Chains A and B, each alone.
Chain A
Amino acid sequence: MENLIIEETKYTPRIVLDANEGIIELKGKSYPENTFEFYKPMMEWLEEYFDGNAPEKIVVNIEIIYFNSSSSKLFFDFFDLLDEAKDEHQIEINWIYDEENDSAEEAGEDFIEDFEDLTINLVSK
């Protein structure tokens, strides 16, 4: 499967989906004008990926400094996807945030609460 890389813009994060290495990375801000439109390629890629194209071990690094409400919603959907795949794969999620960024930290805590079966590490920088 091909890798998917979306470069960072003023309002959207850099997205790196490395098929062979099993690395999923989101880094930057998430204020797209149309959130679901923006993340659609990523979600479609992931669905295809977990449909038998992903390796055993997968690492997810998310470092989102600022994000809007629809991005939060999308992250829940994204975690749902991971949640569904967790039985066939060993998934490790690193939720990375700046120690002064309370909003990002609290969002990470929300995900841990909602997805008790996923391995989510809160990593403060």
Chain B
Amino acid sequence: MKSSTIMSEGDSVLIHEIEELQSSFDKTTKKLIKDIKRQNKIMTRSDKRQKREYDELQNRLKEVQKLQLAQKELLDSFIKLIAGAIDAKSHYTGGHCERVPQLSMMLAKAAHDAHDGIFESFCIANEDEQRELEIASWLHDCGKVVTPEYVVDKATKLETIYNRIHEIRTRFEVIHRDLTIEALQKKLAGDDESEVDAWLAKEHQELVEEFKIVARANIGAEFMKDEDKAKIHQIATRTWVRNFDDTLGLAHEEKKRVLAEKTTTPQVEKLLSDKQRDIIPREHFDYEEYERMGFKTKVPKFLYNRGELYNICINAGTLSYEERFKIQEHIHMTIRMLERLPFPEYLKNVPLFAGAHHETLIGTGYPRELTKDDMPIPSRIMAVADVFEALTASDRPYKEPKTLSQSIKILSFMVEDQHLDGDIFRLFLKSGVYLEYAKAYLKPEQIDEVDIEQYL
């Protein structure tokens, strides 16, 4: 029996349909399996890739962090290098740029820890804010890189960078005179000796006393009263005869100034004088920029006035009006330098914090004549730190360091005059920062007993 005979026509069609279905099912299943395998493959690859990318990202991040740290260290070193250069430039200011940040940071921390009065809302919220303060205090005097040393270091009134040809010429004058005198002495050998001697002794004595007066005034330790100045002017009227050409041996800048005067010889000269040549004109000063920067300090007409009388008659200290302005210009330069730096957002207050340490609370400071409201707490902290460091520094060869109690007394006067902030002054005392700083940076003999109660 053949199977075909058993199957009906209908069965055969059905089987065919089933077979076709099966084949299509197989195809679909195969395709599905293939697709699933592909999907898995894609997913596995994708996972693997993601892990790789994640690792890569982590590595990059670490690299970026490393670079950031390196950059921060570089910036820090650079800042300290500038501060160090300024400190090294003048032994008169010694470690000022290094110690002011120490004291400022101590005070800032105390202000952060205090919760009363003006300090209620003050805090150093994070490392960035801490850094902003640090950088500002390290750079507070960075403009001093352009201040001429002979002004910073001007130890006596008559000190300048000096062409010593003048002194040498004076010696020639003296020798010239000695020869003349010797000749006269020989001629006059017949005079009453004792009378001449007495007269000469008196004259010499007077001259010596007058020189002492001039020399003492030159130191600048005492205030020049009107009568002191009158005496100097009287001494100045003594004369001597110049026989040499004082335009020789000069560089062309000085020569230009000297040629405006009478220089024929022999010339009767005053013992002390203010001459045309002593005035150094102020050239190339950008008044517009000065105003644009908001600097308010009056600009002296001349760059320098080296007149002998003018300088000897300086009221107090050794600096003339022009030189005092030259010193004050360090803060202009600090502000210009810092405002020009592209500080990132979190350091944007550095110029404000650093540039206001010579302002007072009442608009009498410099360079912008700010008042208390314009000065954030860090600026006021830096003002106190700046003064206190300067008072107590023991590395200034031209002055004795003040004791702790003397320095605090002076701070208290400045607080009374509204030059320094009373809240910060009292914080300085109450927090014990004054003693902490003293123990770290003052000589033991400077640290005396301070009754802080009287100031609180």
Report A's interface with B, CB cutoff 8 A.
68-69, 72-73, 76, 102-103, 106-107, 110, 114
Contact of A114 among B38, B39, B46, B48 (CB under 8 A): B38
B64 to chain A: which residues have CB within 8 Å? Answer: none
User: When A and B form their complex, which 4 residue pairs have the shortest distance between CB atoms, in order from nearest?
Assistant: A69-B46, A72-B42, A103-B49, A76-B38
B41 to chain A: which residues have CB within 8 Å? Answer: 110, 114
Closest CB of chain B to A40's CB: distance in Å? 19
B45 to chain A: which residues have CB within 8 Å? Answer: 69, 72, 103, 106-107, 110
- A/B interface sample: 15 pairs, CB < 8 A: A68-B46, A69-B42, A72-B42, A72-B45, A72-B46, A73-B38, A73-B39, A76-B38, A76-B42, A102-B52, A103-B49, A106-B48, A110-B41, A114-B38, A114-B41
Q: How large is the interface on B (under 10, 10 to 19, 20 to 34, 35 or more residues)?
A: 10 to 19
Asked if B48 and A103 sit within 8 Å, CB to CB, the answer is: yes
B43 on the A face (CB < 8 A): yes
Q: Which of A68, A72, A106 has the most CB of B within 10 A?
A: A72
A106 to chain B: which residues have CB within 8 Å? Answer: 45, 48
A114 to chain B: which residues have CB within 8 Å? Answer: 38, 41
Asked if A73 and B42 sit within 8 Å, CB to CB, the answer is: yes
Asked if A103 and B38 sit within 8 Å, CB to CB, the answer is: no
> Roughly how many angstroms separate A90 CA and B105 CA in the complex, as a whole number?
78
Summarize A's interface: helix, strand, loop or mixed.
Answer: helix
Q: Which of B39, B49, B52 has the most CB of A within 10 A?
A: B49
Closest CB of chain B to A114's CB: distance in Å? 7
> Roughly how many angstroms separate A69 CA and B46 CA in the complex, as a whole number?
6
A73 to chain B: which residues have CB within 8 Å? Answer: 38-39, 42
Closest CB of chain B to A121's CB: distance in Å? 20
> Roughly how many angstroms separate A73 CA and B37 CA in the complex, as a whole number?
11
Closest CB of chain A to B56's CB: distance in Å? 11
Closest CB of chain B to A39's CB: distance in Å? 15
B39 to chain A: which residues have CB within 8 Å? Answer: 73
Closest CB of chain B to A101's CB: distance in Å? 10
> Which partner residue on chain B sits nearest A76 by CB separation?
B38
A76 to chain B: which residues have CB within 8 Å? Answer: 38, 42
Closest CB of chain A to B53's CB: distance in Å? 8
> Roughly how many angstroms separate A68 CA and B50 CA in the complex, as a whole number?
10
- Would you give the 0/1 interface string for B163-193, flagging 1 where the beta carbon is closer than 8 Å to chain A? 0000000000000000000000000000000
> Roughly how many angstroms separate A68 CA and B49 CA in the complex, as a whole number?
10
> Roughly how many angstroms separate A110 CA and B46 CA in the complex, as a whole number?
12
Closest CB of chain A to B106's CB: distance in Å? 52
- Would you give the 0/1 interface string for B17-44, flagging 1 where the beta carbon is closer than 8 Å to chain A? 0000000000000000000001101110
> Roughly how many angstroms separate A72 CA and B43 CA in the complex, as a whole number?
10
> Which partner residue on chain B sits nearest A72 by CB separation?
B42
Closest CB of chain B to A82's CB: distance in Å? 15
> Which partner residue on chain B sits nearest A102 by CB separation?
B52
> Roughly how many angstroms separate A69 CA and B49 CA in the complex, as a whole number?
10
A69 to chain B: which residues have CB within 8 Å? Answer: 42-43, 45-46
Q: Which of B39, B43, B45 has the most CB of A within 10 A?
A: B45
> Roughly how many angstroms separate A102 CA and B48 CA in the complex, as a whole number?
10
> Roughly how many angstroms separate A72 CA and B44 CA in the complex, as a whole number?
11
With contacts A69-B42, A73-B38, A114-B41 known, what are 8 further pairs, Cβ within 8 A?
A68-B46, A69-B43, A69-B45, A72-B42, A73-B42, A76-B42, A103-B45, A110-B41
B52 to chain A: which residues have CB within 8 Å? Answer: 102-103
Interface residues of B in 307-359 (CB under 8 A from A): none
B42 to chain A: which residues have CB within 8 Å? Answer: 69, 72-73, 76
Closest CB of chain A to B33's CB: distance in Å? 13
Closest CB of chain B to A78's CB: distance in Å? 12
> Which partner residue on chain B sits nearest A114 by CB separation?
B38
> Roughly how many angstroms separate A97 CA and B346 CA in the complex, as a whole number?
43
> Which partner residue on chain B sits nearest A109 by CB separation?
B45
> Roughly how many angstroms separate A62 CA and B384 CA in the complex, as a whole number?
70
Closest CB of chain A to B27's CB: distance in Å? 14
A68 to chain B: which residues have CB within 8 Å? Answer: 46
> Which partner residue on chain B sits nearest A75 by CB separation?
B42
Closest CB of chain B to A43's CB: distance in Å? 17
A107 to chain B: which residues have CB within 8 Å? Answer: 45
Interface residues of B in 29-85 (CB under 8 A from A): 38-39, 41-43, 45-46, 48-49, 52
Closest CB of chain A to B82's CB: distance in Å? 43
> Roughly how many angstroms separate A109 CA and B38 CA in the complex, as a whole number?
13
> Roughly how many angstroms separate A114 CA and B42 CA in the complex, as a whole number?
12
B38 to chain A: which residues have CB within 8 Å? Answer: 73, 76, 114
Closest CB of chain A to B30's CB: distance in Å? 13
> Roughly how many angstroms separate A24 CA and B414 CA in the complex, as a whole number?
84
A103 to chain B: which residues have CB within 8 Å? Answer: 45, 48-49, 52
> Which partner residue on chain A sits nearest B46 by CB separation?
A69
> Which partner residue on chain B sits nearest A70 by CB separation?
B42
> Which partner residue on chain B sits nearest A68 by CB separation?
B46
Closest CB of chain A to B314's CB: distance in Å? 70
Closest CB of chain B to A3's CB: distance in Å? 30
B49 to chain A: which residues have CB within 8 Å? Answer: 103
